[in-house]
A and B are shown apart, each in its own frame.
Chain A
Amino acid sequence: MTTKLFGEPVRRREDARLVTGRGRYLDDIGAGALAAAFVRSPHAHARVLDVDVDAALDVEGLVAIYTYEDLTGPLAEPLPVLIPHPQLHAPRTGHPLANGEVNHVGEPVVMVVATDRYVAEDAAERIAVTYEELPAVVGVDAAREARASVHAEIPDNVAAVHHQETGDVEEALRGSSRTLSFTQYVERSACMPLEGKGVHARWDADDSSLRVHTSTQASTSVRAAIAAKLQLPLDQVEVVAPDVGGGFGVKIVHPWPEELLVPMAAIALGREVKWTEDRREHFISSAHERQQRQEIRVGFDDDGRLTALDVHIWHDNGAYTPYGIIVPIVTATQLVGPYVVPTYRVRVESVYTNTVIVTPYRGAGRPQGCFAMERTMDRIADALGLDRAVVRERNLIRPDQFPYDHHLTFQDGRPVIYDSGDYPGLLGKLTALVGWSAAGELRAAAAERGKLLGIGMALYVEGTGPGPYEGGHVQVLGSGKVLVSTGLTSQGQGHETVFAQIVASELGVPIDDVEVTTGDTRRFGYAVGTFASRAAVMSGNAVALAARGVREKALRIAAEVLEAEPDDLEIEDGLVQVRGTPGTSIPLRTVAVLSNPLRYAFDEAAKQATQFATHDDSKPPVAPGDAPGLEHREYFSPLRSTFASGAHAAVVEVDPQTWEIDVVTYAVVHDCGNVVNPMIVEGQVHGGVAQGVGGALYERMAYDADGQLQNASFMDFLMPYASEVPDVVIDHQQTPSPLNPLGIKGAGEAGVIPGSAALASAIEDAVGRRITSMPISPTELYDLVRDPGAERTAASARRAGAPA
């Protein structure tokens, strides 16, 4: 069967252009456009006293210079707080260009527009900005101590206190037979797509319309923001996300200053203007994530079952809070993972620092939550002398407990109610896949080779596919082509392929006839965006529903022609036919022609639909309530998020000479419900694991005490090459979601979530010292094992005392 492609590893339709150099990324657009460059703050915290542009004015090729003084109307106001929340009591956002104060290195102060980027940078470096430096707040502990403040009117640096609880945790802790309390840290990393951000704007003065291309994850909302900030009617602004060279979260933030300033300049100058972010700009003026201090108190019984969990987190949100407290909420609510937590309290204090803003990076707070819970499980096992898998198993939500209500409120404002899953199934598959029970033999064999071997695991549950909605439009043309559009964007996830698979399967047409457009407001104006592993869930279901609408209409029209009942018809390979009666059929493309009653025959096919070719004069050509054309638009808006899950395990070998950490096995069991394209899902897992390993062992944002990012280049920020990424073995489980017609759950972020937790567990197992901070480098591991004050695990003591 050629049209039932749901679930098949269909090769990607994007690749034909991408492997031949015919992709169209932001910087490939607008040859000859003027180029923008920015003067950015060299200080983490300072007052801007003066901007002197005189020396730049005689640079040949300079076109314009803009400072805050040149911004007018809404553009002169602070950038929007995109996701307001009652607990975000002190939100702050920057201005498109600094308004008297800068709060992190890299904040834009001046925009220069010139004939090309080289000239723009020549001019930018001649602009003299006078600053008065202010004390910088760097790192979550400094923010918490609040000896200095980022925003003068917020002396404690606290932007928000997010708080949720499911019972009296103090009482539950008092009643617990065992308790533990500990503090741990997660450091900063960043999305680091290979393509940075970028914006191109073209103003058509004749019809007062603006077309903006931007490397974004949310083109419809960028459009709304541009219209609001530049005071343009929405219908005169078009925003298109072209091929986007990776996102991982950073491109969901909007409007970036440049997304407003570049269009502003294009309108003012009547010329095309483009800005392409360079790598240093991406490091110091986009977004980071992950830094948290976690204070955890846990109560449990003598069998290792949780009785109470109290978590107090300090979350570094950087200089501003444009994305609200989404990351803190996600950490707070996803922390509970696949476990029954009888009494839970979480407080997240989101604090300002004079560093780059913190907004979602793949996982978006989940890796930290997973780190908190999974390291807690490891500590309980260690305290009781139990196997870490056994402790987890005893705490898992059972398959017969779904839907499972955690009595928490998720990032979409909806309850955290797990829709489906089989967590014991995941754990069973994982221990088999990684050979958990054989770890002792592996450890002994490694010791023979002079290596310290350890094994660790981590489980997670991931809320995916949050609303509010996405839409899909499907249209069959008289040529037989099927046009599909949805408003959310693509950054490499293969949406053109998976949405085509879904529509081809639903409609019964060859996939080669299906063309998919994403992220183009000219084609679909209503959308939310691509984040939170939501594209397949949201737009996948929306295009499926739209295709079903088209199918219903096609069958109705075909039934009239074939003098049959719609229920007796099927569509197969683009042909509508009476089931079981070969030969009684009509091509879908002909149905498309007939769906649009015509006066004029503009081509051969159209003749079939003209007024003297059709004969039913008993009703109007377009019946009341009907519409011409074989097309349908539908929206999918779920009741709440659907919860995917998974389990990772790692085996590491540590070299006690160099303290190099070698990940020798990395095992993944993954459950994202029904799978549209297993090849693409595995690719997402591979990529996520690589980012998880990078975040656990290599990547960190090395800020010094003055707020200077010391490693703002690919030479110094250690993003994994192939040599650093382990081979990954994967097993699958499928528990379909009951919350959407296709039964799917999101898959985009899963791979990254448990990386730090699983690797910390494995390294701790290898060296017998408590790992309380991630990432960890060989040098830090060396320092830890040399430190006489470092806590030894009980497991290592037991192992040392065990008979040989």
Chain B
Amino acid sequence: MSTSADAERTVRLTVNGVPREATVPVRRVLADALRDDLGLTGTHVGCAHGVCGSCTVLVDGDPVRSCLVLAVQVDGAAVTTVEGLARDDGRGGQVLHPVQEAFRECHALQCGFCTPGFLVTIAAGLEARDASTEITDEEVEDLVGGNLCRCTGYANIKKAVRHAAATMREGGRP
């Protein structure tokens, strides 16, 4: 038995700056396409109904819950996952994004499962703001307020946001 859900389509995306292509059933959500078709397992599915934010990726720069979007809906888009936050240092290594550095520095993760969703959301938020100004408590609350974490109690995540904002204010990447 085959259904319309089995119909496949080829989706072309720019993922973390690299052109990628996958032929997927039209019902496949973006999270599964990234994980299973493109092998980018850094994006995690925590609830599959758009509440926890673990699966957040950037689609054309904006945070999107990849469990609620079909892969075919973002055909042609640029997608950034947690794997795309760090940059090559030109010597075979990587330079972490200030938010990634800050999470390590501030112990902002424990099990790490929700962390990719926080990282891409916060990275996008910090990059969109005027880095020369000091980040406010309201901005911090806003950046972390939409994602669930069961381990940390959020205190160190908020600390990491301030730490990353300070780094970027001092001229750290980007």
- Residues of chain A touching chain B, judged by Cβ–Cβ distance below 8 Å, are 11-12, 14-16, 18-25, 27-28, 31, 58-60, 116, 118, 122, 191-195, 243-248, 278-279, 491-494, 679-680, 682-683, 686-691, 713-715, 719, 721-723, 725, 727-728, 751
Does B155 contact A719, Cβ atoms closer than 8 Å?
A: no
Q: Nearest Cβ distance between residue B157 and chain A, in whole angstroms?
A: 7
Residues of B within 8 A of A58 (CB): 1
Q: Nearest Cβ distance between residue A32 and chain B, in whole angstroms?
A: 9
A-B contact pairs, 7 of them (CB 8 A): A192-B150, A248-B150, A279-B46, A683-B151, A689-B153, A713-B49, A715-B51
Chain B interface residue count, Cβ-Cβ cutoff 8 angstroms? 61
Does B112 contact A243, Cβ atoms closer than 8 Å?
A: yes
> Which chain B residue lies CB-closest to A717?
B51
Does A714 contact B49, Cβ atoms closer than 8 Å?
A: yes
How far, in angstroms, from A27 to B44 measured CA to CA in the complex?
A: 9
Residues of A within 8 A of B35 (CB): 27-28
Residues of B within 8 A of A31 (CB): 36, 39
Residues of B within 8 A of A27 (CB): 35, 41, 44-45
Residues of A within 8 A of B81 (CB): 21
With A31-B36, A687-B153 as contacts: A60 and B113 at CB distance below 8 Å: no
Told that A18-B109, A20-B86 touch, could you supply 6 new A-B pairs with CB distance under 8 A? A31-B39, A58-B1, A492-B110, A683-B107, A713-B49, A722-B145
CB contact between A194 and one of B46, B107, B145, B153 (< 8 Å): that residue:
B46
CB contact between B111 and one of A19, A195, A682 (< 8 Å): that residue:
A195
- Residues of chain B touching chain A, judged by Cβ–Cβ distance below 8 Å, are 1-3, 5-6, 25, 27-28, 35-36, 39-49, 51-52, 54, 81-83, 85-86, 94, 96, 100, 103-105, 107, 109-116, 119, 141, 144-158
With A15-B104, A713-B47, A714-B51 as contacts: A23 and B150 at CB distance below 8 Å: no
CB contact between B112 and one of A122, A245, A725, A751 (< 8 Å): that residue:
A245
How far, in angstroms, from A722 to B144 measured CA to CA in the complex?
A: 7
Residues of A within 8 A of B112 (CB): 14-15, 18-19, 23, 243, 245, 492
Does A719 contact B157, Cβ atoms closer than 8 Å?
A: no
Does B2 contact A60, Cβ atoms closer than 8 Å?
A: yes
With A18-B115, A194-B52, A722-B157 as contacts: A245 and B42 at CB distance below 8 Å: no
> Which chain A residue lies CB-closest to B114?
A194
List of 6 A-B pairs having minimum Cβ-Cβ separation, nearest first: A21-B42, A492-B111, A245-B113, A18-B112, A690-B153, A686-B153
Does B6 contact A60, Cβ atoms closer than 8 Å?
A: yes
CB contact between B47 and one of A248, A279, A492 (< 8 Å): that residue:
A279
Q: Nearest Cβ distance between residue B109 and chain A, in whole angstroms?
A: 6
Residues of B within 8 A of A243 (CB): 111-112
Does B41 contact A194, Cβ atoms closer than 8 Å?
A: no
CB contact between B110 and one of A11, A20, A279, A683 (< 8 Å): that residue:
A683
Q: Nearest Cβ distance between residue B79 and chain A, in whole angstroms?
A: 13
Does B113 contact A687, Cβ atoms closer than 8 Å?
A: no
Q: Nearest Cβ distance between residue B131 and chain A, in whole angstroms?
A: 21
Q: Nearest Cβ distance between residue A693 and chain B, in whole angstroms?
A: 9
Q: By DSSP majority rule, is chain B's interface helix, strand, loop, or mixed?
A: loop
Residues of A within 8 A of B152 (CB): 683, 686-687, 690
Residues of A within 8 A of B52 (CB): 194, 714
With A19-B96, A686-B155 as contacts: A245 and B44 at CB distance below 8 Å: yes
Q: Nearest Cβ distance between residue A356 and chain B, in whole angstroms?
A: 18
Residues of B within 8 A of A245 (CB): 44, 46, 111-114
Residues of A within 8 A of B141 (CB): 722-723
Does A686 contact B156, Cβ atoms closer than 8 Å?
A: yes
Q: Nearest Cβ distance between residue B172 and chain A, in whole angstroms?
A: 16
Does A195 contact B110, Cβ atoms closer than 8 Å?
A: no
> Which chain A residue lies CB-closest to B51?
A714
Does A194 contact B25, Cβ atoms closer than 8 Å?
A: no
Residues of B within 8 A of A11 (CB): 104-105, 107
Does A193 contact B111, Cβ atoms closer than 8 Å?
A: yes
With A194-B54, A719-B150, A723-B145 as contacts: A20 and B104 at CB distance below 8 Å: no
Residues of B within 8 A of A244 (CB): 111
How far, in angstroms, from A649 to B49 measured CA to CA in the complex?
A: 36
Residues of B within 8 A of A247 (CB): 111
How far, in angstroms, from A197 to B18 measured CA to CA in the complex?
A: 33
Residues of A within 8 A of B44 (CB): 25, 27, 194-195, 245
Does A246 contact B111, Cβ atoms closer than 8 Å?
A: yes
How far, in angstroms, from A191 to B111 measured CA to CA in the complex?
A: 14
Residues of A within 8 A of B39 (CB): 31
> Which chain B residue lies CB-closest to A680?
B107
How far, in angstroms, from A20 to B85 measured CA to CA in the complex?
A: 8
| Best-buried of B43, B54, B119, B151 by chain A (most CB within 10 Å) | B151
Does A491 contact B153, Cβ atoms closer than 8 Å?
A: no
Q: Nearest Cβ distance between residue A621 and chain B, in whole angstroms?
A: 43
Q: Nearest Cβ distance between residue B96 and chain A, in whole angstroms?
A: 7
Does B83 contact A20, Cβ atoms closer than 8 Å?
A: yes
Does B148 contact A194, Cβ atoms closer than 8 Å?
A: yes
Does A21 contact B150, Cβ atoms closer than 8 Å?
A: no
Residues of B within 8 A of A682 (CB): 107
How far, in angstroms, from A194 to B52 measured CA to CA in the complex?
A: 8
> Which chain B residue lies CB-closest to A493?
B110
With A193-B111, A719-B148, A719-B150 as contacts: A21 and B40 at CB distance below 8 Å: yes
Does A21 contact B151, Cβ atoms closer than 8 Å?
A: no
Q: Nearest Cβ distance between residue B55 and chain A, in whole angstroms?
A: 11
How far, in angstroms, from A52 to B20 measured CA to CA in the complex?
A: 43
Residues of B within 8 A of A723 (CB): 141, 145
Does A20 contact B48, Cβ atoms closer than 8 Å?
A: no
Q: Nearest Cβ distance between residue A289 and chain B, in whole angstroms?
A: 15
